Amino acid sequence: MSDISHSNGVADPVPADFWTLLKPRVMSLVIFTALAGVLLAPGDIHPVLAIVSLCAIAVGAGASGALNMGFDADIDAIMKRTASRPVPAGRVGREEALTFGAMLSVLSVMVLTLSANPFAAALLAFTIFFYVVIYTLWLKRWTPQNIVIGGAAGALPPMVGWAAVTGSMAWEPVLMFLIIFVWTPAHFWALAILTRDDYARARLPMLPVVASARTTRINIFVYALLTAITGVLPAVFGYVSPVYGVIAAGLGIWFAQRAWALIGADEDSERRLAGRTFAVSIIYLFAIFGAMMADHLITELL
C-alpha cells in the first residue's frame, strides 16, 4: 500500500501526533498491570531500576500501538472512530509511523535488558511481536476470534513486570495474565457493539459484525462470568488475602450483572447498555488490580 502523504494540505506532524501513535490510554493500563507484577513479585529491585523497567514496558506498549496504526492505516481511514488518527488523517506518514514504532520497540527491549534481565526483555519482545504480527496483521482481519486470541498480548504486561524482578515465571503472574485474558473479549465486544457499523465498513470480522446481536451479547456475558470467576482465583490459591477475594467477588458480580442486563437489551437500549458494560469493564480491571496491589502492600506492612 502506498504511503499516506502530506500532499492533502494537512499540517506537518507535531509531538502530539507521535504521542497519539503510542495509544496513551492503552499504555496507562499496561503500566498499571505491569506495576502489579513488579509489586507482587518476590525479591527486591532498586526503585530506580523498577521505574526504568516500567517505562521500558510502557514504551514497548506504545511501540506496538504505533506499529498497529501504521499497518492499520487503510482500515483506520474507513472507520469514523479512527479516521482522525495521525496516519489516516495524513499528519504522519505510514512509513514514519512504522519506523517510529520499530525504533521504540528495539529501544524498549534494550533498556529492559539493561534495567532488569534478558528474560523479561525477551517476554516484552514476544508481547510486541504477538500484538503486531499475530493480532494486527493476521487475526484481526481474518477471524471473529481475533480479540479472544489476540487478547493475550494485552494480558502479558503483569508477567513482564514479574519477570523484571525475578528473572523467572510463577503461577501468580499466570493468574494475573488469565484475568486480563478472559476479561478482554467482554470488554472489547461491548465497545464493538458501539462501533459495529465502522467494523462492517472496514470489512473486519468482529463478532458483532458476523454474528447476531443476541449471540454477541451471550458471548459477552459468558466472558464476563469467566472473568468474575478468574478474578477470585488469586485468593482461592492463597496468593492474596480473603479480603481481596471478597472485593474481587463483588466486582465480578457487578461486571456479570451488567453483561447479563445487556443480553435482554432491545434495539433502542442496546447501545446504552453496551456503553455501560464497557465502562464497568474498565473500572473492573483497574479496581481488581488495584485491590490486588493494596492487599499485598497492607499484608507486607502487617
pLDDT tens sequence across 198-251: 999 999 999 999 999 999 999 999 999 999 999 999 999 999 999 999 999 999
User: Is 298 domain-assigned?
Assistant: yes
- Using the predicted structure, report yes or no on whether residue 4 has a pLDDT greater than 90: no
Residue 260: all three cell numbers together: 447479563
CATH number of the domain within which 129 lies:
1.10.357.140
**Cα–Cα nearest to 206, from 217, 193, 225, 218:** 193
Residue 285: all three cell numbers together: 480491571
Q: Classify residue 80 by burial, with Cβ atoms within 10 Å: 0-12, 13-18, 19+.
A: exposed
d(CA 84, CA 69): 12
From the CB of residue 186, how many other CB atoms can be counted at a distance below 10 Å? 28
d(CA 284, CA 248): 9
pTM as predicted: 0.93
Q: Give 7's pLDDT tier (boundaries 50, 70, 90).
A: very low
State which of 169, 188, 223 marks the end of a domain.
Answer: 169
User: Is 7 domain-assigned?
Assistant: no
* CA 111 to chain centroid: 22
State which of 141, 169, 197 marks the end of a domain.
Answer: 169
Q: Give 292's pLDDT tier (boundaries 50, 70, 90).
A: very high
pLDDT of amino acid 135: 97
Q: Give 13's pLDDT tier (boundaries 50, 70, 90).
A: confident
**Structural domains counted in the chain:** 2
Per-residue pLDDT reduced to its tens digit, 125-175: 999 999 999 999 999 999 999 999 999 999 999 999 999 999 999 999 999
Q: Give 268's pLDDT tier (boundaries 50, 70, 90).
A: confident
Per-residue pLDDT reduced to its tens digit, 73-115: 999 999 999 999 999 999 999 999 999 999 999 999 999 999 9
Q: Are residues 92 and 218 in the same domain?
A: no
Q: Are residues 287 and 235 in the same domain?
A: yes
Q: Are residues 156 and 191 in the same domain?
A: no
When the pLDDT of each residue in the chain is averaged and rounded to a whole number, the result is: 94
State which of 169, 187, 202 marks the end of a domain.
Answer: 169
Q: State the Cα torsion 160-162-166-167 to the nearest 10°.
A: -20
pLDDT of amino acid 302: 81
Please answer whether residues 188 and 165 qualify as being in contact, where contact means their C-beta atoms are separated by less than 8 angstroms.
Answer: no
Q: Are residues 156 and 18 in the same domain?
A: yes
User: Is 3 domain-assigned?
Assistant: no
Q: SS3 for 23?
A: coil
**Cα–Cα nearest to 73, from 202, 206, 189, 197:** 202
d(CA 28, CA 163): 19
Q: Give 8's pLDDT tier (boundaries 50, 70, 90).
A: very low
pLDDT of amino acid 11: 57
Per-residue pLDDT reduced to its tens digit, 26-61: 999 999 999 999 999 998 899 999 999 999 999 999
Q: SS3 for 24?
A: helix
**Cα–Cα nearest to 294, from 234, 236, 237, 208:** 234
**Better-scored residue on pLDDT, 2 or 168:** 168
* CA 282 to chain centroid: 11
The amino acid that residue 171 corresponds to is W
User: Is 120 domain-assigned?
Assistant: yes
- Using the predicted structure, report yes or no on whether residue 5 has a pLDDT greater than 80: no
- H helices of 195-269, in order, are 196-201, 207-210, 213-231, 233-236, 242-263
Residue 188: all three cell numbers together: 472489547
Helices (H) and strands (E) in the chain, counts: 16, 0
User: Is 2 domain-assigned?
Assistant: no
Interhelix angle 171-194/213-231, rounded to 10 degrees, is: 150
pLDDT of amino acid 267: 83
Q: Are residues 20 and 95 in the same domain?
A: yes
- Domain of residue 118 covers 14-169
Q: Are residues 194 and 111 in the same domain?
A: no
